[in-house]
Chain A
């Protein structure tokens, strides 16, 4: 189940004060009613109350972007809201301030590119042999999936729909000196992004740009049902892993992405002083590690 065929659904970028007009089409081939709740919209259950469409119907909604920041939107049909959300029907709206992003001192913050990461917890039923089940229609999966969901232990936690969506050939790229904005949205469950080998230079953990960004974070917290934004300027080339730092979720369940960063290595920031080799006599204990100061 998706909006526009992708997990996460597309990110809509608008400006503060804009009127956003959305046409929601539920194709005839579908089997279920759908709607959409915009966390950035005001009233009408975020639009959910005014956008119910059955298969073969469409609806047009207009709402005003009154506050800035990154916000989740998701499907919210009666009786099956969580099922639609964890099946993939969630996206992000980014409402930018008219005068741009600013740091705590009010100085402008710029970025070269934006990466949009939608994290999705999935609850896929298994058969008696431990094999993941598949179903001919979504409706047939409802009861089994709900049973898995109610135990609150996801079978998968993934970025952008599947394991490997942002690794290998799909890895995100940047150059040393470039600033990236990472928009991270999680419509259902808490997550804690961490850039291995990097930091969050400026982080709007709650995603709302009117609040001053936090500086130099190691890990930040995205509450389930919200989207956050982080700026980072790469200072060192190489491969960076961007993970949900619940490492069980990152490694066992799939919540890992990679950045491939080109540029020149900075020996001042890091250097392998001595490659791995035999332990030197008298240095066999970890307790005598030496920190060099000047």
Chain B
């Protein structure tokens, strides 16, 4: 019992710290698999990436630089979003909070989940399968989304006349194509991307692990973080946005003038191999269990 707790804490801490760094050299199957979800392997290759967050240069809002990126390893990610049925297993097992809205469409993506709920699910399924599951980083999501990732550069506010950019942003947001249906749809409704992933950019936005950053661009082009807010995470889908981690139902109105995501859901990265310390702990646990 105590041992399991320690494993959980170790994995949680590691997942929060720097997920990409966790990927240790290729492969060797751990011998477990997630019960329901199909997994897609996407081989690492260069891609274009614009960092999430607020950027400034000389005290004025600036666009984040678009740069060539390459992840440290291949990406193993769920082919489709986690379904209500899958999430319900976690709830029944005591691993996930019961979400207020009754999931009546069991085989459709679970929606109305917060970052905290999604993280609880990742921890639960990690413990259940012995395979590290976690939310993707924004960078990983953009890579996996491929041509369906939307690099939407919204107009920047000029401090001398902030209203012009504000109006332009408002119009750009109003012109976004809204999903025809708000209810989650059957898996595959929104098509498959070139990497083989279902429903990227459909009517369910996906949580990522990336925290909201405020960054200052220096003359050299280097970005310096001036503020990190991990209470707000990057949400990805038909457009990129930022959400406070306990929000389950994105909505707008009143002061908030933008168009919010239709639904919040998630899919998980499945790490090819667990970090060495975990495997040792797991082996010990298995041996202990065998003795009992």
B209-266 residues with Cβ-Cβ distance < 8 A to A are 214, 226-227, 251-257, 259
Q: Is the CB of B163 within 8 A of A238?
A: yes
B25 at the interface (CB under 8 A from A): no
- Is A285 an interface residue, CB under 8 A from the partner? no
- With A129-B104, A130-B102, A238-B167 given, is the CB distance from A247 to B174 under 8 Å? no
Q: What's the Cα separation between A277 and B61 when bound, in Å?
A: 12
Contact digits for A266-290, partner B, Cβ 8 Å, 1 yes 0 no: 0100011011111000000000000
Chain A residue nearest to B54 (CB atoms) is A276
Q: Kindly provide the distance from the CB of A279 to the nearest chain B CB, expressed in whole angstroms.
A: 9
Are the C-beta atoms of B251 and A252 separated by less than 8 Å?
yes
B29 at the interface (CB under 8 A from A): no
Cα–Cα, bound, A98→B162 (Å): 42
Which residue of chain A is the closest to B175 with respect to CB atoms? A169
User: Are A276 and B214 touching (Cβ within 8 A)?
Assistant: yes
**Which residue of chain A has its CB nearest to the CB of B56?**
A275
Q: Mark B70-102, 1 if CB is under 8 A from A, else 0.
A: 000000000000000000000000000000011
List, in ascending order, chain A residues with CB within 8 A of B226's CB.
Answer: 277-278
Does A226 count as interface, using CB distance less than 8 angstroms? no
With beta carbons under 8 angstroms apart, the residue of A241, A252, A277 that contacts B257 is: A241
- Is A69 positioned at the interface, with any CB of B under 8 Å from its CB? no
For residue B278, CB closer than 8 A to chain A, the reply is no
A250/B163 contact (C-beta < 8 A), A129-B102, A168-B173, A278-B227 known: no
Complex contacts, A276 vs chain B, CB 8 Å = 54, 214, 227
- Asked, given contacts A265-B160, A277-B226, A278-B226, whether A247 binds B254 with beta carbons under 8 Å apart, the answer is yes
A208 to B200, CA, bound (A): 55
Contact of A250 among B56, B253, B257 (CB under 8 A): B253
Taken together as a complex, chains A and B put the C-alpha atoms of A94 and B61 apart, in Å, by: 47
User: What's the least CB distance linking A242 to chain B, in Å?
Assistant: 10
| Overall SS of chain A's interface | loop
Q: Are B56 and A254 closer than 8 Å at their CB atoms?
A: no
Interface residues of B in 155-178 (CB under 8 A from A): 159-164, 166-167, 170-171, 173-175
A251 at the interface (CB under 8 A from B): yes
Q: Which residues of B contact A167 (CB under 8 A)?
A: 174, 257
Q: Are B254 and A256 in contact (CB under 8 A)?
A: yes
* Residue in A239, A251, A277 with the greatest tally of chain B CB atoms within 10 Å: A239
Once A250-B253, A252-B251, A276-B227 are accepted as A-B contacts, the answer to whether A236 and B174 lie under 8 Å apart by CB is: no
Bound-state CA distance A278–B224 (Å) is 12
Report the bound CA distance from A32 to B51 in whole Å. 60
CB closest chain-A residue, reference B159:
A272
Which residues of chain A are within 8 angstroms of B167 by Cβ–Cβ distance? 237-239, 260-262
Contacts of B252 in A (CB 8 A): 251, 256
| A264 contacts partner chain B, Cβ-Cβ < 8 Å | yes
Which residues of the partner chain B approach A90 to less than 8 Å between Cβ atoms?
Answer: none
Tell me if B253 and A251 are in contact (CB < 8 A).
yes
User: Is A265's CB under 8 angstroms from B102's CB?
Assistant: no
Q: Which of A93-150 contact B (CB under 8 A)?
A: 129-131
| Interfacial chain B residues near A237, Cβ < 8 Å | 161, 163-164, 167
Query: Any chain B CB within 8 A of the CB of A172?
Result: no
Given A238-B166, A275-B59, answer yes or no on A264-B161 (Cβ-Cβ < 8 Å).
Answer: yes
A199 CB within 8 Å of chain B:
no
Contact A169 B174 (CB under 8 A): yes
Nearest A-chain residue to B227, judged by Cβ: A278
Q: Is the CB of B214 within 8 A of A168?
A: no
The verdict on A171 contacting chain B, using a C-beta distance below 8 Å, is yes
Residues of B within 8 A of A247 (CB): 254
Q: How far is the CB of B215 from chain A (nearest CB, A)?
A: 11
Contacts of A267 in B (CB 8 A): 160
With known contacts A169-B175, A272-B159, A196–B170 Cβ distance under 8 A: no
- How far does the Cβ of B133 sit from chain A's closest Cβ, in whole Å? 30
Please measure, in the bound complex, the distance between the C-alpha atom of A252 and the C-alpha atom of B164, giving whole angstroms: 28
Assuming the contacts A168-B259, A264-B161, A275-B59, asked whether A196 and B102 have C-beta atoms less than 8 A apart, the reply is: no
Q: Which 5 A-B pairs have the closest CB atoms?
A: A168-B174, A237-B163, A238-B163, A251-B253, A265-B161
In the complex, 23 of the A-B residue pairs with CB atoms within 8 angstroms, ordered by the A residue number, are: A129-B104, A130-B101, A131-B104, A169-B175, A171-B170, A171-B174, A196-B254, A196-B255, A236-B163, A237-B163, A238-B166, A239-B257, A241-B253, A250-B253, A251-B253, A252-B253, A265-B160, A265-B164, A275-B56, A275-B61, A276-B227, A277-B214, A278-B226
Chain A residues engaging chain B, CB cutoff 8 angstroms: 129-131, 167-169, 171, 196, 236-239, 241, 243, 247, 250-252, 254-256, 258, 260-265, 267, 271-272, 274-278
In addition to A168-B174, A251-B254, A275-B60, 20 A-B residue pairs with Cβ atoms within 8 Å of each other are: A130-B101, A167-B257, A168-B173, A169-B174, A237-B167, A238-B162, A238-B163, A239-B163, A241-B253, A241-B254, A241-B255, A247-B254, A250-B254, A256-B253, A265-B163, A274-B59, A275-B59, A275-B159, A276-B227, A278-B226
